[in-house]
């Protein structure tokens, strides 16, 4: 038996990462569709001096109620950059791109050789680099400099007109959605769901530290029910894992898994997540210990379900059997079986590890976990 092969296959199959849901489609639908006017110019009115961004005309737009007029698109370029010239020739002459800039963006070109300090500040490494920034919410914008503007996002390299617009619209739309969610959360500080939605949106925007602060504050809100506090702590623990703060995350997962107020589903997820944290901390014995509540009597559960299924009449031919119909364990238990199989493989217990995989295949014969388990078992039995 090739123990290394078994361990590698299990590692490849079992996902040991964590994620929070990104901004939902419903939240994105709240963002108004951007309406484009008739072309007002045959070219993009680029500014070439960063100080021009704070002219009276630009600041008047930035201070308007229109959220889409608060963005500045900075194109970092150089005289010697071939793809920068290609953008100028092909993308920036497209009428749809010109129209979009005219309505929604202030356009600034920055020559990195003339403004090396801006290249350093914005950490520009390749050219062309497009950085989208936004004016902050302040009435005293005249005292700002370009480095005071908040970066929304960026993309690097040449894009044709359709791809360019797609990139810019994605950045502005995501930012508008995030700002709307932020406003809802600010207006409803005692609504746990609003705070969790904001944290999830921040995670989707890669603002993990800010998401952590939002959830830490929410977890201390005495107006939330204990059940909601536990949900907030679960989200907080998941953010901590993304920041690889394993000890802090482990403590939170342990608290949730041991709380009598935790719903069964939340407790199960916390137990599995705790085990994964233990693996990341190389505490393999503690990881296996954390899985015990999840996998207690799991073999008996599968055997009884299979026995019952064998006694039942087969479904009519016209009825399509779904993976969910055939699955006899919860997803979290199937993931736990894979993790325990990995831990057993690490300890050199190949037979026990294969037993876990065979059990997962029986419990989820048509689903993702069962098919992956079957693939590994067949591969190792050759």
Per-residue pLDDT, 37: 41
Q: Using CB atoms within 10 A of its CB, is residue 321 exposed (0-12), middle (13-18) or buried (19+)?
A: exposed
Superfamily of domain 31-180: Glutaredoxin (3.40.30.10)
Give the sign of the dihedral formed by CA 10, CA 273, CA 298, CA 296. Answer: positive
Pairing between β-strand 71-77 and β-strand 129-134 as defined by DSSP bridges: antiparallel
Per-residue pLDDT, 156: 97
Please check whether residue 2 is in contact with residue 380, taking contact to mean a CB–CB distance below 8 angstroms.
Answer: yes
Per-residue pLDDT, 32: 39
Per-residue pLDDT, 286: 95
In angstroms, the CA 92 to CA 271 distance is 53
Least confident of 55-64, 82-91, 336-345, 368-377: 55-64
pLDDT band at 31 (very low <50, low <70, confident <90, very high): very low
Determine the angle formed by the axes of helices 331-346 and 3-13, rounding to 10 degrees: 150
In angstroms, the CA 202 to CA 182 distance is 9
- Is pLDDT of 243 > 60? yes
pLDDT digits (tens, 9 = 90+) for 179-197: 899 999 999 999 999 999 9
CA neighbours closer than 13 Å in the CB half-sphere of residue 335? 17
- Per-domain residue ranges for the chain? 3-16+297-381, 31-180, 206-294
- Is pLDDT of 39 > 50? no
Contacts of 334 (CB under 8 A, 6+ apart): 327, 360, 363, 364, 367, 369, 370
Mean pLDDT computed over every residue of the chain? 85
- Mean pLDDT to the nearest integer, 227-240: 96
E strand or H helix at 325, and its extent? helix 323-326
CA 363 to chain CA centroid, nearest Å: 30
pLDDT band at 326 (very low <50, low <70, confident <90, very high): confident
pLDDT digits (tens, 9 = 90+) for 86-107: 999 999 999 999 999 988 899 9
Phi, psi (degrees; rounded to nearest 5) at 112: -65, -20
Query: Whose CA is closest to 131, among 119, 142, 141?
Result: 119
Q: Dihedral, CA atoms, 209, 212, 217, 219, nearest 10 degrees?
A: -170
Share of the chain above pLDDT 90, in %: 60
Scored b (16 or more CB within 10 A) or e, 49-75 reads ebeebbeeebeebbeeeebbbbbbbbb
In angstroms, the CA 22 to CA 113 distance is 38
pLDDT digits (tens, 9 = 90+) for 60-85: 666 665 555 579 999 999 999 999 99
Return the structure tokens found at 6.
Answer: 């078994």
- Is pLDDT of 11 > 70? no
pLDDT band at 219 (very low <50, low <70, confident <90, very high): very high
- Mean pLDDT to the nearest integer, 47-65: 77
pTM of the model: 0.75
- Mean pLDDT to the nearest integer, 226-247: 96
Residue ranges of E strands in the chain: 71-77, 105-111, 129-134, 150-156
pLDDT digits (tens, 9 = 90+) for 306-323: 888 777 666 676 667 777
Q: Is the model more confident about 15 or about 3?
A: 3
Least confident of 107-111, 171-175, 220-224, 375-379: 375-379
Per-residue pLDDT, 35: 41
In angstroms, the CA 151 to CA 136 distance is 10
Per-residue pLDDT, 222: 95
């Amino acid at each position: 038996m090739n123990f290394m092969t078994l361990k590698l296959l299990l590692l490849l199959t079992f996902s040991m990462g964590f994620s929070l849901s990104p901004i939902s489609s419903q939240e994105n639908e709240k963002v108004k569709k951007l309406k484009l006017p008739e072309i007002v110019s045959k070219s993009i009115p680029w500014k070439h001096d960063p100080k021009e961004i704070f002219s009276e005309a630009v600041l008047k737009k930035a201070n308007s109620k229109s959220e889409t007029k608060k963005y500045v698109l900075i194109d970092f370029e150089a005289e010697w950059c071939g793809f920068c010239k290609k953008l100028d020739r092909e993308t920036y002459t497209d009428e749809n791109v010109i129209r979009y800039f005219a309505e929604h963006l202030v356009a600034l070109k920055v020559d990195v050789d003339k403004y090396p300090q801006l290249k350093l500040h914005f950490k520009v490494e390749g050219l062309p680099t497009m950085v989208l920034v936004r004016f902050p919410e302040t009435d005293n914008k005249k005292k700002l400099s370009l480095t005071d503007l908040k970066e929304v996002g960026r993309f690097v390299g040449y894009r044709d007109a359709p791809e360019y617009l797609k990139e810019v619209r994605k950045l502005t739309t995501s930012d508008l959605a995030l700002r709307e969610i932020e406003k809802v959360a600010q207006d409803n500080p005692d609504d746990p769901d609003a705070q969790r939605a904001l944290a999830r949106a921040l995670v989707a925007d890669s603002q993990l530290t800010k998401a952590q602060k939002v959830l830490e504050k929410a977890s201390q809100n005495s107006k939330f029910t204990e059940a909601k506090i536990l949900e907030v702590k679960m989200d907080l623990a998941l953010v901590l894992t993304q920041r690889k703060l394993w000890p802090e995350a482990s403590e939170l997962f342990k608290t949730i898994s041991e709380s009598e107020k935790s719903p069964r589903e939340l407790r199960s997820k916390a137990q599995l997540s705790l085990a994964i944290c233990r693996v990341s901390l190389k505490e393999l014995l503690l990881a296996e210990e954390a899985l015990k509540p999840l996998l207690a009597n799991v073999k008996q559960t599968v055997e009884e379900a299979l026995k019952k299924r064998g006694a039942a009449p087969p479904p009519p031919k016209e009825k399509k059997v779904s993976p969910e119909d055939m699955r006899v364990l919860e997803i979290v238990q199937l993931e736990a079986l894979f993790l325990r199989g990995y831990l057993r493989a690490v300890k050199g217990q190949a037979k026990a590890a294969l037993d876990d995989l065979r059990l997962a295949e029986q419990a989820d014969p048509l689903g993702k976990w069962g098919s992956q388990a079957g693939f590994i078992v067949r591969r190792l039995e050759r």
